[in-house]
A and B are shown apart, each in its own frame.
Chain A
Amino acid sequence: MAADIAKAGALLFFAVVLQLSIMAQVTILGGHPNLLLVALVCVALLRGAVFGAVAGFSAGLLADTGVFGTLGFIALLLTLAGYWTGRYGETTGRDRAHAPLLSVAVITLLYQVAALVLRYMLGQNAPGGAIFAGLVPTMLLNLILTFPVYALARRLLRPREWAPREVRLLG
């Protein structure tokens, strides 16, 4: 467990650094890749809901600090992203090859919408038109990132042998 925490911590730390210093200024067809979100989704899929939520909160807090943002903003969004992805990994998504791609696509959509709503609620700049226009390119860029990031995460955090499901026979 301690080794898992160290490996996931290192992976997410470098994802935060790369996201803030490099990825945040990459714009392709109006989309902005989010390496941190992709890395978190991969970690949560491999290690479950609680691990995903805690990892999301910690990485989000670090990202909030690095950009002098509203402390807790990214942390809140990534906590929920990590939790939901982790639950999906623990239940329906186990052993499914498409799980990382499906999770990244859905979580990217939910993350963008949730960030927009949260910013609107806080009275900050929330350009809905620009966000929705860039949603599909952002999703595609994140899906492209998923392949190398998931391969790396899988190498660092070997998939768990999930406990067999309990089946109760009727009759």
Chain B
Amino acid sequence: MARNRSVSAVLGSSVPRPRPQPFPSRSRSALRRRVVVAGLVVLALFLITISFREPTSGPLHGVQSAGATVLRPFEVAAERVARPFRDVYGYFAGLIHVKQENEKLKAEVNKLRQQALLGESARAQNTEFRKQLKFVDSPLFPSDYSAVNTRIIGWRNEFDERVVIAAGRNAGIHQETPVVTSDGLVGSVTQVSPTAALVTLLTDESSAVQARDQDTSASGVVRHGEGEGSLIVDRVTKDKLVKEGDVIVTAGTRSKQYPSLFPANIPIGYVISVGQSDTAPFKQIQIQPFVDFSSLDAVTALTTKKQNPKAP
């Protein structure tokens, strides 16, 4: 029996066929698509170039500040909604280490009580001597600074160690304003809009702080170490004494060439390892920061009306 293999017999005449589209319209659509994407890519590259080369006071950064101001209420609202959930997570995550941490903290409290007694008596003596000497000083931390307590509302991506805080120029914050928590130094403001500011953390590659060992007065520069979030004290010469457990604080301005942005005596961290080699000119000192940068929540920006001294 012969089989009918014709297409019309298989499909039947009632099946509607798609109307063929003319090729010119398809090529026009492809052209339009390519023009749009190429235009956007060129525009993005143009913006990157301008943004990268322009100083922070330039017009493009002004537009960016205005945009950040508009976004800010939404970020604050989202952050507030998420807070209870994050707190619950933090509570349960914290329970895992609570017993071990409790014992450690008890020992630390005993040690600190003794230190506080000694420190209080030394502070009273120091104040008295300063009075007697009529000592003229740069702004002192914390007495000469006002605290602007604020919340972190935005985090940059995993490449950067920077955060956005919910207070800006209107609250007296300006570029280079130091930012701290009750634990210690966090970083400094690197960009500011009227209602928000960008804080570059101490753990960022671009951060460097003049610091000293509180116990031995050995001075150096605290900066980003090799591992993620690690800090080192660089440029401490081998003749200086630094021991494990020593507390590292900000040094304040000590060099005319490199004035420090930070007031003296803000705690940074404690020394966890000290090493030196024959070939390296400086000691290799690693420190553990007092601030837990992975769980920053609220911070304090330190503003002062007293002018930082500038070397002539």
Tell whether B246 is near chain A: CB-to-CB under 8 Å. Answer: no
Let me know if A72 and B153 touch, CB within 8 A.
Answer: no
* Shortest Cβ distance from residue A111 to the other chain B in the assembled complex, whole angstroms: 11
Q: When the two chains form the complex, which single residue of A62, A66, A166 contacts B164, counting CB atoms closer than 8 Å?
A: A66
**Partner-contacting stretch, out of B33-41, B209-217, B280-288, B303-311:** B33-41
Let me know if B51 and A70 touch, CB within 8 A.
Answer: yes
Tell whether A54 is near chain B: CB-to-CB under 8 Å. Answer: yes
- The CA of A130 and the CA of B227, in the complex, are separated in Å by 10
Tell whether B257 is near chain A: CB-to-CB under 8 Å. Answer: no
Q: When the two chains form the complex, which single residue of A24, A60, A116 contacts B155, counting CB atoms closer than 8 Å?
A: A24
- Complex contacts, A16 vs chain B, CB 8 Å: 71
Tell whether A140 is near chain B: CB-to-CB under 8 Å. Answer: no
What is the interface size of chain A, counting residues whose CB is below 8 A from a CB of the partner? Answer: 48
Chain B's closest residue to A131 (CB) is B158
- Complex contacts, B228 vs chain A, CB 8 Å: 127, 130
**Partner-contacting stretch, out of A1-9, A76-84, A99-107, A141-149:** A76-84
Let me know if A21 and B67 touch, CB within 8 A.
Answer: no
- Complex contacts, B45 vs chain A, CB 8 Å: 72, 76
Tell whether B91 is near chain A: CB-to-CB under 8 Å. Answer: no
The DSSP consensus for interface residues of chain B is helix
Q: With A17-B74, A53-B40 given, is the CB distance from A32 to B157 under 8 Å?
A: yes
- Complex contacts, B41 vs chain A, CB 8 Å: 76, 79-80
Q: When the two chains form the complex, which single residue of B32, B191, B204 contacts A68, counting CB atoms closer than 8 Å?
A: B191
Let me know if B68 and A50 touch, CB within 8 A.
Answer: no
Let me know if A126 and B159 touch, CB within 8 A.
Answer: yes
A-B pairs under 8 A by CB, number: 137
Q: When the two chains form the complex, which single residue of B37, B64, B162 contacts A49, counting CB atoms closer than 8 Å?
A: B37
Tell whether B88 is near chain A: CB-to-CB under 8 Å. Answer: no
Let me know if A71 and B79 touch, CB within 8 A.
Answer: no
Q: With A24-B157, A130-B158, A166-B20 given, is the CB distance from A66 to B48 under 8 Å?
A: no
Q: With A66-B71, A68-B68 given, is the CB distance from A122 to B155 under 8 Å?
A: no
Tell whether A159 is near chain B: CB-to-CB under 8 Å. Answer: no
- Complex contacts, A163 vs chain B, CB 8 Å: 18, 21
* Shortest Cβ distance from residue B200 to the other chain A in the assembled complex, whole angstroms: 10
- The CA of A42 and the CA of B79, in the complex, are separated in Å by 24
Chain A's closest residue to B74 (CB) is A17
Binary contact track B171-198/A, C-beta < 8 Å → 1, others 0: 0000000000000000000010100001
| B44, B60, B82, B204: most-surrounded residue (chain A CB, <10 A) | B44
Chain A's closest residue to B65 (CB) is A68
* Shortest Cβ distance from residue A28 to the other chain B in the assembled complex, whole angstroms: 11
Chain B's closest residue to A66 (CB) is B71
Tell whether A157 is near chain B: CB-to-CB under 8 Å. Answer: no
Tell whether B13 is near chain A: CB-to-CB under 8 Å. Answer: no
Tell whether A154 is near chain B: CB-to-CB under 8 Å. Answer: no
* Shortest Cβ distance from residue A84 to the other chain B in the assembled complex, whole angstroms: 9
- Complex contacts, B109 vs chain A, CB 8 Å: none
- The CA of A110 and the CA of B68, in the complex, are separated in Å by 28
Tell whether A92 is near chain B: CB-to-CB under 8 Å. Answer: no
Tell whether B132 is near chain A: CB-to-CB under 8 Å. Answer: no
New contact pairs (19) apart from A66-B75, A72-B51, CB-CB < 8 Å: A17-B71, A20-B75, A20-B164, A21-B74, A21-B78, A22-B79, A25-B155, A49-B33, A53-B36, A53-B40, A54-B40, A57-B43, A60-B44, A69-B156, A71-B47, A76-B45, A80-B41, A166-B20, A169-B7
> Which positions in B face A, CB cutoff 8 Å?
7, 18, 20-21, 32-33, 36-37, 40-41, 43-48, 50-52, 60, 64, 67-68, 71, 74-76, 78-79, 82, 153-162, 164, 191, 193, 198, 204-206, 228, 294
